[in-house]
């Protein structure tokens, strides 16, 4: 951050007349109190130190802080201290409480110009207590941290109770249990097990018929058959895709004032669901999301690659476009780096469980991640252009034509030329409009900046000069002619990255994360602590449409030898089945995170993910690598997964938090599972898959919180509104109450673990809310339809639908008594009483919790 000569006059004022003969002592006497009064609070010897800068000794101010020396002895006029106290612009303002009086600025200026003399006996400052010593530095010791060690497959540990071991997973868990003097819980009841596994794999309850089929199947392989059936269900991708959407901060709008829709964001959601359903290997899944545009171009000439594969790869780069985006940032350059930060923070946490984002403004406080590491990662993404250069939520930078190659070949050249000309015409018309708008009354000028611009433009005629009128009319005619050319039929667009920079600009470390304070230049590179060779980057060749850097990054991250990617994904697979990761802080394997409870198991699973052995013959080992479904079987067929959730006294005493998995952990339904289950039990669930998102009704009171109530929420009606929650439009500033109340994922940053909160407003919604009551009514009607007039059978069916089990006789008689009481109340019809009973069953813990 150099101080330019032009600002020098500003900074110095009349101090340029300083005399070389001024006595240093007099200056020192004047300066010291000023520093003490205005600067030492943040730049003194105290605990609080801002920008790493101390002004308590001459040595310290010459050494400087994060942005370099405070005083430049070679060119004193260019000293940062002078720039700061001059308040020359928004970014150079010290002290922050207000500009110093001119007289004091002059004193400090003379002092700096005189070489910043200091009182006798000046000692360099003692090293201040700091919390940074452990982090930010890559040392031999920091490289020894467990998460950075190469992946090695540990041996399967021996156990005493070997009969319990069904898959290698069991041996790892059991050996720890035995070491802790614990026995695993007995096997779960078949009902609990089928509910557990059906929800885990599909997010839906098993039907009573599916429960019966399993419970009555005496075949030892009955459970395995259920698992295999569920893994083939199209609903598997809907459930597991949602896990992924949590991680990648999936939302379909940009946030901020207009919170405009991200065009075709739903294609990314469908891509994720499809990827899970087709068991796409995770390394390819990763590559497509980071660099699918580059893959697609590489694949384009190959007839072996299908059009669908090409389209999917492009759609996958929607990943880079999912973050919040401010369409009118106060500081556009800084906002660019917010976009990069969103990508870098998400990518490093989701794939590598590294909180690299903590090193944006300074070295990481605890992990060995330097600020340079952060900007080296940013450099990989520098070819990604801004989401949009105008307020337009659709732009050539975020949309790509994904139509089949043969179709594109028919229209592409003509279309591009027409689009170019249309844009030119629009720009030219806007220029003429803007010139005339300036002559209009304030109200109109104001209106012209918003959505009412067309109305203002309609009134513009009389403000045009004759020349403007003529030019405008001609352009308008051309625009209309261009607009009449029909859009190519079946053309399909996808949210993606496009129009990338072939030769991205040089990346610098940004001092204190300030986009206006570039520091040392950096090249794309990997975190130093991982000790891998620097990437080899080849300059983009002729015809390239992007820098190729993201492919390099993706190839490295998806390498089976990577120390983090396989561990991180294996940990998540475990987490989504067992409620808690082996590393509980699944987005942070660093020192602020938690240690693995079963490090050997984690490494074994990660090894197994990339180098399959379990139930895989040598011939299909490669094909099985990185695939999730085989890992699901490995986990789900284990004895650990099949344990009961009931705890015995010993387990409660010695494993209260269940960290050794002495029993299966219970869990509440997720927000989506709850809504979907209400729909399913009531008979209303519409299982239609894919396509643009739906907007289920949101109560008026909730819409009232918007600045334009209802805007951006075109309510879906009829059976479309009853589709699964994964297809509900995710609008950042407006969430569907039943989903947000039950802890759906945060929409603005990666969500690795959902909260489970229990608060009375949830109960209010489930008792009094429109949706819950509508579901209760639909369920009552269903029961009456299925068992007309047979109240006891209706009750039994309601219990089966909501819990899967057969009710006990005592339970039924009590429920019948409830119904009798409800029917006896004034004005209550049989249907109303039954509706109340259904509402009751939908509120039970047994319906909402899985064991």
Tokens (6 digits) for 165: 């071991």
Burial class (CB in 10 A: 0-12, 13-18, 19+), 125: middle
- 3-state DSSP: the chain helix, strand, coil percent, rounded to 5? 50, 5, 45
Q: What is the C-alpha to C-alpha distance for residues 265 and 494, in angstroms, rounded to an integer?
A: 8
Binding to other proteins (CB under 8 A): which residues in 390-409? none
Binding to other proteins (CB under 8 A): which residues in 721-750? 732-735, 737, 740-743, 746-750
851 binds other proteins (CB under 8 A): yes
Angle among Cα 11, 7, 329 to the nearest 5 degrees reads: 110
CB of 422 to other proteins, least distance (A): 27
The binder of other proteins chosen from 666, 689, 721, 812 (CB under 8 A): 666
Radius of gyration of the chain (CA): 32
CB of 769 to other proteins, least distance (A): 5
CB of 154 to other proteins, least distance (A): 23
Close Cβ partners of 186 (under 8 Å, ≥ 6 residues apart): 643, 644
Which of these segments, 217-225, 417-425, 782-790, 817-825, binds other proteins (CB under 8 A)? 817-825
Structure-derived torsion over alpha carbons of residues 72, 76, 77, 78, reported in degrees to the nearest 10: -10
849 binds other proteins (CB under 8 A): yes
Nearer to other proteins, 2 or 699 (CB): 699
User: Is 671 within 8 Å of 246 (Cβ atoms)?
Assistant: no
CB of 708 to other proteins, least distance (A): 6
Binding to other proteins (CB under 8 A): which residues in 635-654? 645-647, 652
The binder of other proteins chosen from 217, 309, 478, 832 (CB under 8 A): 832
Binding to other proteins (CB under 8 A): which residues in 299-328? 324, 326, 328
Binding to other proteins (CB under 8 A): which residues in 671-700? 699
CB of 699 to other proteins, least distance (A): 7
* Long-range CB pairs of 295-298, under 8 A, 24+ apart, other chains included: 295/551, 297/545, 297/546
- Total residues at the site for other proteins (CB under 8 A)? 120
CB of 337 to other proteins, least distance (A): 11
User: Is 567 within 8 Å of 589 (Cβ atoms)?
Assistant: yes
Which of these segments, 75-83, 304-312, 405-413, 812-820, binds other proteins (CB under 8 A)? 812-820
- Tokens 């089929």 belong to 213
Q: What is the C-alpha to C-alpha distance for residues 251 and 260, in angstroms, rounded to an integer?
A: 11
Nearer to other proteins, 64 or 596 (CB): 596
User: Is 367 within 8 Å of 592 (Cβ atoms)?
Assistant: yes
CB of 78 to other proteins, least distance (A): 24
CB of 97 to other proteins, least distance (A): 5
Q: What is the C-alpha to C-alpha distance for residues 516 and 86, in angstroms, rounded to an integer?
A: 17
Binding to other proteins (CB under 8 A): which residues in 414-433? none
CB of 819 to other proteins, least distance (A): 10
836 binds other proteins (CB under 8 A): yes
Which of these segments, 55-63, 304-312, 408-416, 815-823, binds other proteins (CB under 8 A)? 815-823
The binder of other proteins chosen from 701, 718, 789, 809 (CB under 8 A): 701
Nearer to other proteins, 422 or 773 (CB): 773
Which of these segments, 55-63, 75-83, 454-462, 580-588, binds other proteins (CB under 8 A)? 580-588
CB of 34 to other proteins, least distance (A): 16
759 binds other proteins (CB under 8 A): yes
Q: What is the C-alpha to C-alpha distance for residues 285 and 460, in angstroms, rounded to an integer?
A: 52
50 binds other proteins (CB under 8 A): yes
Binding to other proteins (CB under 8 A): which residues in 326-365? 326, 328-331, 338, 345, 349, 355, 357-358, 361
Q: What is the C-alpha to C-alpha distance for residues 345 and 355, in angstroms, rounded to an integer?
A: 7
Binding to other proteins (CB under 8 A): which residues in 460-519? none
* Long-range CB pairs of 503-507, under 8 A, 24+ apart, other chains included: 503/539, 503/540, 503/547, 504/379, 504/382, 504/383, 504/547, 504/549, 505/382, 507/375, 507/376, 507/378, 507/379, 507/382
HEC-encoded secondary structure of 78-133: HCHHHHHHCCCECCECCCCCCCCCHHHHHHHHHHHHCCCCCCCCCCCCCCCCCCCC
Binding mask 73-112 for other proteins (x = CB under 8 A): -----------------------xxxx-------------
Count of residues making up the chain: 851
Which of these, 588, 800, 575, lies nearest to 665 by C-alpha position?
A: 575
Q: What is the C-alpha to C-alpha distance for residues 738 and 750, in angstroms, rounded to an integer?
A: 21
Tokens (6 digits) for 451: 């959505």
445 binds other proteins (CB under 8 A): yes
CB of 443 to other proteins, least distance (A): 5
The binder of other proteins chosen from 134, 394, 585, 686 (CB under 8 A): 585
845 binds other proteins (CB under 8 A): yes
Which of these segments, 65-73, 442-450, 560-568, 716-724, binds other proteins (CB under 8 A)? 442-450
Which of these segments, 68-76, 102-110, 635-643, 829-837, binds other proteins (CB under 8 A)? 829-837
- Tokens 């739903």 belong to 266
Which of these, 819, 773, 832, lies nearest to 792 by C-alpha position?
A: 819
CB of 701 to other proteins, least distance (A): 5
Nearer to other proteins, 208 or 329 (CB): 329
756 binds other proteins (CB under 8 A): yes
Binding to other proteins (CB under 8 A): which residues in 252-281? 255-259
812 binds other proteins (CB under 8 A): no
40 binds other proteins (CB under 8 A): no
Which of these, 506, 520, 510, lies nearest to 549 by C-alpha position?
A: 506
Close Cβ partners of 96 (under 8 Å, ≥ 6 residues apart): none
Binding to other proteins (CB under 8 A): which residues in 763-792? 763-765, 767-770, 773
Query: b/e per residue, 66-81, with b = 16+ CB within 10 A?
Result: bbebbbbeeebbbbbb
The binder of other proteins chosen from 263, 593, 612, 804 (CB under 8 A): 593
Query: b/e per residue, 619-639, with b = 16+ CB within 10 A?
Result: eeeeebbbbbbbbbbbbbbbb
The binder of other proteins chosen from 588, 603, 608, 672 (CB under 8 A): 588
HEC-encoded secondary structure of 417-449: HHHHHHHHHHHHHHHHHHHHHCCCCHHHHHHHC
Nearer to other proteins, 187 or 502 (CB): 187
Nearer to other proteins, 569 or 626 (CB): 569
The binder of other proteins chosen from 617, 760, 788, 809 (CB under 8 A): 760
Nearer to other proteins, 356 or 631 (CB): 356
Q: What is the C-alpha to C-alpha distance for residues 281 and 628, in angstroms, rounded to an integer?
A: 7
CB of 710 to other proteins, least distance (A): 10
């Amino acid at each position: 951050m150099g101080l330019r000569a032009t600002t020098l006059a500003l900074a110095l004022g009349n101090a340029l007349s300083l005399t070389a003969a001024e006595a240093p002592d007099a200056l020192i006497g004047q300066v010291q109190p000023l520093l003490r009064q205005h600067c030492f609070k943040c730049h003194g010897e105290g605990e609080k130190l801002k920008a790493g800068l101390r002004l308590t000794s001459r040595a310290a101010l010459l050494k400087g802080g994060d942005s370099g020396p405070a005083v430049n002895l070679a060119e004193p006029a260019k000293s940062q201290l002078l720039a700061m106290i001059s308040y020359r612009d928004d970014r150079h303002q010290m002290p922050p409480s207000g500009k110093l009086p001119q007289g004091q600025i002059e004193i400090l200026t003379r002092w700096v110009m005189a070489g910043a003399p200091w009182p006798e006996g000046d000692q360099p400052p003692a090293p201040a207590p700091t919390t940074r010593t452990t982090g930010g530095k890559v040392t031999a010791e920091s490289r020894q941290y467990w998460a950075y060690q190469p992946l090695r497959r540990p041996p399967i540990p021996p156990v005493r109770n070997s009969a319990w071991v069904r898959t290698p997973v069991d041996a790892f868990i059991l050996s720890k249990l035995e070491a802790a003097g614990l026995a695993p819980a007995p096997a779960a009841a078949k009902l609990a097990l089928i509910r557990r596994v059906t929800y885990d794999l599909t997010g839906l309850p098993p039907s009573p018929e599916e429960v019966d089929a399993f419970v009555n199947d005496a075949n030892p392989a009955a459970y395995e058959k259920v698992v295999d059936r569920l893994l083939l269900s199209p609903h598997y991708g809907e459930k597991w895709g949602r896990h992924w959407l949590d991680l990648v901060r999936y939302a379909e709008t940009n946030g901020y004032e207009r919170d405009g829709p991200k065009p075709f964001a739903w294609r990314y959601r469908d891509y994720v669901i499809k990827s899970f359903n087709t068991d796409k290997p995770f390394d390819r899944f990763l590559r497509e999301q980071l660099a699918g545009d580059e893959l697609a171009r590489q694949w384009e000439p190959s007839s072996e690659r299908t059009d669908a594969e090409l389209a999917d790869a492009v759609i996958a780069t929607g990943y880079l476009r999912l973050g919040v985006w401010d369409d009118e940032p106060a500081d556009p350059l800084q906002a660019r780096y917010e976009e990069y930060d969103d990508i870098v923070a998400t990518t490093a946490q989701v794939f590598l469980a590294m909180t690299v984002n903590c090193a944006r403004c300074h070295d990481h406080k605890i992990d060995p991640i330097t600020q340079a590491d952060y900007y080296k990662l940013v450099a990989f993404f520098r070819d990604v252009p801004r989401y949009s250069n105008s307020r337009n939520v659709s732009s050539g930078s975020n949309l790509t034509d994904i139509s089949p190659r043969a179709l594109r070949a028919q229209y592409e050249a003509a279309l591009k030329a027409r689009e170019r000309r249309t844009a030119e015409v629009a720009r030219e018309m806007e220029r003429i409009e803007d010139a005339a708008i300036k002559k209009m009354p304030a109200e109109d000028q104001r209106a012209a900046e918003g959505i009412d611009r067309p109305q203002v433009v309609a009134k513009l005629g009389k403000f045009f000069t004759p020349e403007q009128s003529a030019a405008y009319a001609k352009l308008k005619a051309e625009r209309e002619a261009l607009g009449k050319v029909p859009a190519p039929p079946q053309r399909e667009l996808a949210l993606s990255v496009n129009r990338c920079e072939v030769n991205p600009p040089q990346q610098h470390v940004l001092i204190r994360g300030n986009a206006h304070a570039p520091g040392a230049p950096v090249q794309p590179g990997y975190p130093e602590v991982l000790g891998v060779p620097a990437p080899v980057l080849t300059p983009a060749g002729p015809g390239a449409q992007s820098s190729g850097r993201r492919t390099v990054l993706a190839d490295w991250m998806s390498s089976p030898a990577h120390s983090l990617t396989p561990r991180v994904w294996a940990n998540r697979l475990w987490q989504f089945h067992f409620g808690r990761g082996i590393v509980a802080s699944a987005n942070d394997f660093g020192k602020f995170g938690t240690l693995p409870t079963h490090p050997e198991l984690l490494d074994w699973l990660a090894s197994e993910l990339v180098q399959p052995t379990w139930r895989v013959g040598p011939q299909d080992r490669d094909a099985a690598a990185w695939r999730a479904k085989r890992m699901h079987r490995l986990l789900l067929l284990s004895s650990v997964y099949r344990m009961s959730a009931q705890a015995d006294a010993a387990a409660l005493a010695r494993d209260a938090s269940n960290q050794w998995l002495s029993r299966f952990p219970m869990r509440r339904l997720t927000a989506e599972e709850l809504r979907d289950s209400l729909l399913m039990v009531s008979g209303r669930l519409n299982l239609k898959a894919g396509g643009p998102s739906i907007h289920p009704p949101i109560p008026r009171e909730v819409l009232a919180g918007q600045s334009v109530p209802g805007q951006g929420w075109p309510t879906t009606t009829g059976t479309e509104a009853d589709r699964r929650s994964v297809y509900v439009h995710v609008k950042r500033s407006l969430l569907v109450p039943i989903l947000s109340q039950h802890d759906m994922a945060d929409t603005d940053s990666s969500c690795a673990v959902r909260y489970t909160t229990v608060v009375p407003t949830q109960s209010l919604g489930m008792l009094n809310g429109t949706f819950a009551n509508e579901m209760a009514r639909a369920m009552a009607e269903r029961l009456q339809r299925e068992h007309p007039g047979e109240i006891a059978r209706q009750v039994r069916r309601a219990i089966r639908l909501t819990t899967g089990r057969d009710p006990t006789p005592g339970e039924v008689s009590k429920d019948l008594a409830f119904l009798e009481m409800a029917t006896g109340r004034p004005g209550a019809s049989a249907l109303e009483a039954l509706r109340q009973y259904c509402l009751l069953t939908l509120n039970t813990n047994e319906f909402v919790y899985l064991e």
